[in-house]
Amino acid sequence: MRPNLSLSLSLSHSLTLPLLCFCHFSYTFLLCSHFLTMASHIVGYPRMGPKRELKFALESFWDGKSSAEDLKKVAADLRASIWKQMADAGIKYIPSNTFSYYDQVLDATATLGAVPPRYGWTGGEIGFDTYFSMARGNATVPAMEMTKWFDTNYHFIVPELGPEVKFTYASHKAVEEYKEAKALGVETVPVLIGPVSYLLLSKPAKGVEKTFSLLSLLPKVLAVYKEVIADLKAAGATWIQFDEPTLVLDLDAHKLQAFTDAYAELAPVLSGLNVLIETYFADIPAETYKTLTSLNGVTAYGFDLVRGTQTIDLIKGGFPSGKYLFAGVVDGRNIWANDLAGSLSTLHALEGIVGKGDKLVVSTSCSLLHTAVDLVNETKLDDEIKSWLAFAAQKVVEVNALAHALAGHKNEAFFFANTAAQASRKSSPRVTNEAVQKAAAALKGSDHRRATNVSARLDAQQKKLNLPILPTTTIGSFPQTPELRRVRREFKAGKISEEEYVTSIKEEIRKVVELQEELDIDVLVHGEPERNDMVEYFGEQLSGFAFTVNGWVQSYGSRCVKPPIIYGDVSRPKPMTVFWSSAAQSMTKRPMKGMLTGPVTILNWSFVRNDQPRSETTYQIALAIKDEVEDLEKAGINVIQIDEAALREGLPLRKSEQAHYLDWAVHAFRITNVGVQDTTQIHTHMCYSNFNDIIHSIIDMDADVITIENSRSDEKLLSVFREGVKYGAGIGPGVYDIHSPRIPPTEEIADRINKMLAVLEKNILWVNPDCGLKTRKYTEVKPALTNMVAAAKLIRNELAK
């Protein structure tokens, strides 16, 4: 039987090859791969769909516009499409149970029945009501904490575990999805969050934070894992993948021993199965490598060889005989086409260690969840840039091409075109701007600090701004209504004129300003109605950036972002925000914040060029933002917020590398505002990460005011001040969680403010939400902000007495 060659550019969801010039080549071996499957593996795949189908289905369900069955149908169609796509591409080890309605760690919590008591779950199979209440909260109880997944922009729901938790097998999702794929004729590798990583990523329940050891729960957790594994074996699974990403962290002997104990305990039930332990995002420490490669019952090890290049030296130093090596040579976190010749050379070197045959498996460095879905959906990228890229669908093809080449079936045309694209990118004149490189190089040798200390600056600013004690503000964005999105969409499509667009946006700004004045908020924002995304908006106005139409990546739940692509040197051709901020300030006598995204956040929330150090790109962006800050100041904007929401996100996972990152990241922030007057108040904002361990670097940023997420993480931030850290600048720990539809009562917010006053001086404390309000509805925002302002006034009155 011969495959239909007309499928060459239209495998399920178009597994289009990354170079447009490939179209005239023959890919018979790729198309025949369904019949000739090589040792290839995908760690995981994007779950939202190529056109964000899951996002729209989720939001329709949450809004009561569609049924649970409607949502399940969309999900099943997406899963079937993904499995078929990989099967048609010839992938041998296809993952299942990587799909999620919200988050894979929350799925593990559901599997283990580890539902916090406040959600009122009484047992049985966990359904949507309980599941989404844990993720999003509901009218009566808040959501579980959400934080960044290692050093990515993906957010996971943090398990809350205490000594009283009763684990029970409460979600059969893993085995159900395995059976679902099997019924479609696709054999898959079920993927589970590893038991030790699950516990290490959890947090102790409230009240036992300082005394409870999460690893003491390991025997109870393993009891449920044994049931899940037995179910998968009974269903016919021959492989199981355990994701244990915490193995790349700096682990002490006690934590390493937990891995040894866990897999020794699971070994009997795993007998007869091939077991893959998958790691990603960084190098494996040498001591950890020894522990990992000696685990009982494990037959395969997966390593990130893109971000973990030093792991190759460990493998060369010794790899267990007869075991499988899943070599993650295709980058799962960026969108650049793979250097196939370089990857093949690495694979040949590893083959000399592991041996020829099926024991060396070509894989992605991590789940493709962190990259865009399919390059074929991009209609606006020009041909040259498009030739340099590979999204998830194209990376599947790259993995398979490398597997075939390793097995002696190299497609010379495919490799030749890839080499040509690599050379094109290196030599393209649009990548390099000598003036920008010279300006960035000149930054070295100065630490770019403002001349006056923060205390003196705050005094000067207070004389100018005349703010009350506990000033209220919001973080920047206001709800993005369907009407607002329609206006932006029609303007981009040329359906309305620039004059009509400006009129509409100004009217929206006026509404937001009037609402804030009505609510009696002290420092206002313009609501950002002109912005699609806090990074994309700036990237569209900077040189060196390219943009996609459908390059969406999941951030959390149904929330997706469309990261810009930084392909060249960055500069600012003209002012980006001055027009809108000036218009907003003209509508009120109250201070209006100019709203900017900081250089480190623009970097960390973009797909970044990989041909120069990330620090160099950041310094280029910092210079562009510096120009904007100074233009805002000249335009009469006295409060300027430079968001660095992703500063913590970029922190390397290994402690030995963190000081260097923090040094250049904090320096880049200071560059942006070093030239402003003392009376200009510089704010920054951070959210949804653990900031306590970098608090001294945050202080070193030398911002006048920092607003920072606090309530969703259950006021974890305040503990650092209880432990004696002195903070002299203005600070606004968030008083309510904006990622939940729940409206906090005034008393609850007042209680949070009082807790803050127990560890922070009243003259530096600000009152604000956790984050921007873009994703909420006005029916939620108005009462929540009303209660927030009322709480601030209540505490002011108490302080006055």
Q: Provide DSSP, 493-549.
A: TTSS-HHHHHHHHHHHHHHHHHHHHHHT-SBB--B-TT-S-TTHHHHTTSEEEE--S
Q: Which of 290, 296, 282, 355 is nearest to 317 (CA)?
A: 290
For a pLDDT cut of 70, what percent of the chain falls above it?
94
Binned at pLDDT 50, 70 and 90, residue 4 comes out as very low
Show which of 346, 370, 394 is a domain's final residue.
370
Q: Is the pLDDT of residue 11 over 80?
A: no
For a pLDDT cut of 90, what percent of the chain falls above it?
86
3-state secondary structure of 338: coil
| 535 shares its domain with 669 | yes
Domain ranges, residue 612: 452-800
* pLDDT, average across residues 717-742: 84
Residue 560 assigned as binding residue: yes
3-state secondary structure of 317: coil
CB atoms within 10 A of CB 769: 28
Q: Which of 361, 410, 404 is nearest to 43 (CA)?
A: 361
| 188 shares its domain with 328 | yes
Binned at pLDDT 50, 70 and 90, residue 36 comes out as low
| 337 shares its domain with 480 | no
| 460 shares its domain with 366 | no
Residue the block writes with tokens 């909420």: 776
pLDDT, position 720: 77
| 363 shares its domain with 475 | no
Residue 551 lies in a domain: yes
Contacts of 222 (CB under 8 A, 6+ apart): 195, 262, 265, 266
Residue 498 lies in a domain: yes
pLDDT, position 717: 73
| 363 shares its domain with 484 | no
Q: How many domains does the chain have?
A: 2
Q: Is the pLDDT of residue 688 over 70?
A: no
Residue 446 lies in a domain: no
Show which of 349, 370, 391 is a domain's final residue.
370
CATH (domain of 218) = 3.20.20.210
Residue 663 assigned as binding residue: no
Q: Name the token pair of 744.
A: 């906090």
Assign residue 244 a region (left: φ > 0; alpha: ψ between -120 and 50; beta: otherwise). Answer: beta
pLDDT, position 2: 30
| 675 shares its domain with 773 | yes
Q: Given 370, 526, 667, 739, which residue is catalytic?
A: 739
739 is catalytic: yes
List, as one string, the DSSP characters of 454-471. Answer: HHHHHHHHHHHH-PPSS-
Binned at pLDDT 50, 70 and 90, residue 714 comes out as low
Show which of 370, 387, 420 is a domain's final residue.
370
pLDDT, tens digit (0-9, with 9 covering 90-100), for 480-538: 999 999 999 999 899 999 999 999 999 999 999 999 999 999 999 999 999 988 999 99
Q: Is the pLDDT of residue 1 over 50?
A: no
- Parallel, antiparallel, or unpaired for β 188-193 and 94-96? parallel
Q: Which of 516, 579, 281, 551 is nearest to 389 (CA)?
A: 551
Q: How far is CA 336 from CA 371, 372, 404, 615, 709, in A?
A: 10, 11, 21, 19, 33
Residue 528 assigned as binding residue: yes
Q: Which of 628, 580, 581 is nearest to 602 (CA)?
A: 628
Eight-state DSSP code of residue 333: S
pLDDT, position 709: 83
Q: Are 583 and 626 in contact (CB under 8 A)?
A: no
Residue 489 lies in a domain: yes
Residue 391 lies in a domain: no
Q: Is the pLDDT of residue 644 over 60?
A: yes
Please give the mean pLDDT across all residues of the chain. 92
| 354 shares its domain with 474 | no
- pTM of the model as a whole: 0.90
List, as one string, the DSSP characters of 689-707. Answer: S--GGGHHHHHHT--SEEE
- Parallel, antiparallel, or unpaired for β 565-571 and 553-556? unpaired
Q: Which of 378, 250, 239 is nearest to 302 (CA)?
A: 239
In single-letter form, the type of residue at position 387 comes to S
* pLDDT, average across residues 178-186: 98
**Bridge partner list, 553:** 561
| 475 shares its domain with 358 | no
Eight-state DSSP code of residue 776: S
Q: Is the pLDDT of residue 429 over 60?
A: yes
- Parallel, antiparallel, or unpaired for β 565-571 and 543-546? antiparallel
Residue 94 assigned as binding residue: no
Residue 153 assigned as binding residue: yes
433-456 burial: b if 16+ Cβ within 10 Å, else e: beebeeebeebeeeebebeeebee
Residue the block writes with tokens 């100074």: 630
Residue 559 assigned as binding residue: yes
| 325 shares its domain with 456 | no
Residue 390 lies in a domain: no
422/98 Cα distance (integer angstroms): 32
| 148 shares its domain with 297 | yes
320/315 Cα distance (integer angstroms): 9
Residue 476 assigned as binding residue: yes
491/786 Cα distance (integer angstroms): 33
Q: Are 725 and 692 in contact (CB under 8 A)?
A: no
pLDDT, tens digit (0-9, with 9 covering 90-100), for 121-142: 999 999 999 999 999 999 899 9
Residue 33 lies in a domain: no
- Parallel, antiparallel, or unpaired for β 188-193 and 203-204? unpaired
* pLDDT, average across residues 307-332: 96
763/461 Cα distance (integer angstroms): 13
H or E stretch including 324? strand 324-330
Residue 696 assigned as binding residue: yes
Eight-state DSSP code of residue 489: H
The Cα angle at residue 82 between residues 185 and 59, in degrees rounded to 5: 125
Q: Is the pLDDT of residue 741 over 50?
A: yes
Residue 273 lies in a domain: yes
247/291 Cα distance (integer angstroms): 10
pLDDT, position 635: 98
